[in-house]
Amino acid sequence: MARRRDVRTLAVVPPAVDILTLGPLATNCYLVRADRAAEEAIVVDPSGAATEIRRGLESLGARCVAILVTHGHFDHVLGLADLAEETGAVVHAPAGERALVEHPDRYAPPGLPLRPWTPDILLEGGERLELAGLALDVIAVPGHSPAHLAFATAGSVLSGDVLFAGSVGRTDLPGGDWPTLLASIRTLRDALPPDTVVYPGHGPATTLAAELARNPFLADLRAESHEVAR
């Protein structure tokens, strides 16, 4: 008799995404689960007090099993050390921004309760993670910061400070570069379906299609698609 293979259930339907907007720059922290009943959650960008994030998880009846960091800017990692310490969750962060995650106060205004934390797993982009019943593709999207990552899963992308509803990430901070950021947005366009929901680091969710159609910063990308269509 053939041995029964282990079947791992990975979500192919859109994940349950809950948003907490935290910290001095109103940065989105995402609680992502395979579905509304799931007890395991991933926390993307712990951007404020860990107590608030834990309260959010408790209200969902969920526990944090992994923490993903899109990039090392202080407003995205404010609660990282406390949350990782309190939950024991495995921390995934961009390899190229490890120094920033370990010294988050480097470009931060004084007085914030930032503590260094050493990530458990360093990512480059191109990996596939299986966490909390979700399969997440890691996409390298530099330009706002030098080794910025996006995490795509089942019709959604958690994109940090690359693309916002009606705007894009700033490129005037250390390691920022506008042509590189535009190339990263092109990467997202080419890798993901147009109806992909974009969960950005600041502001409301949007879709790739909506931004590609109307975002004033993406006129160059629109021009390219017209050239292809012609």
Question: Which residues contribute to the site for Zn ion (CB under 5 A)?
Answer: 73, 161
Q: How far is the CB of 10 from Zn ion (least distance, A)?
A: 29
Q: How far is the CB of 68 from Zn ion (least distance, A)?
A: 15
Q: How far is the CB of 16 from Zn ion (least distance, A)?
A: 25
Could you tell me if residue 104 is left (phi over 0), alpha (psi between -120 and 50 degrees) or otherwise beta? alpha
Q: Which is nearer to Zn ion, 28 or 215 (CB)?
A: 28
Please state, in angstroms and rounded to a whole number, the distance separating the CA atoms of residues 48 and 74. Answer: 10
Q: How far is the CB of 113 from Zn ion (least distance, A)?
A: 18
Q: How far is the CB of 76 from Zn ion (least distance, A)?
A: 6
Q: Which is nearer to Zn ion, 33 or 73 (CB)?
A: 73
Residue nearest to Zn ion (CB): 73
Q: Which is nearer to Zn ion, 54 or 73 (CB)?
A: 73
Q: Kindly state the tokens that stand for 102.
A: 């370990």
- Give the closest residue to 31 by CA, choosing from 9, 52, 8: 52
Q: Kindly state the tokens that stand for 46.
A: 């712990």
Q: Which is nearer to Zn ion, 97 or 161 (CB)?
A: 161
**Dihedral angle of Cα 104, 105, 107, 111, to the nearest 10 degrees:** 140
Q: Which is nearer to Zn ion, 10 or 183 (CB)?
A: 183
Q: How far is the CB of 196 from Zn ion (least distance, A)?
A: 21
Q: How far is the CB of 193 from Zn ion (least distance, A)?
A: 26
Q: Which is nearer to Zn ion, 170 or 214 (CB)?
A: 170
| Interacting residues of 197 by C-beta distance below 8 A, sequence separation 6+ | 14, 17, 155, 156, 157, 205, 206, 207
The strands making up 121-123's β-sheet, listed across from edge to edge, are: 16-22, 27-33, 40-44, 63-68, 90-94, 121-123
Q: Which DSSP state fits 229? A: H
Contact (CB, 8 A) for 223 and 43: no
Q: Which is nearer to Zn ion, 161 or 211 (CB)?
A: 161
- The number of beta carbons lying within 10 Å of the beta carbon of residue 157 is 25
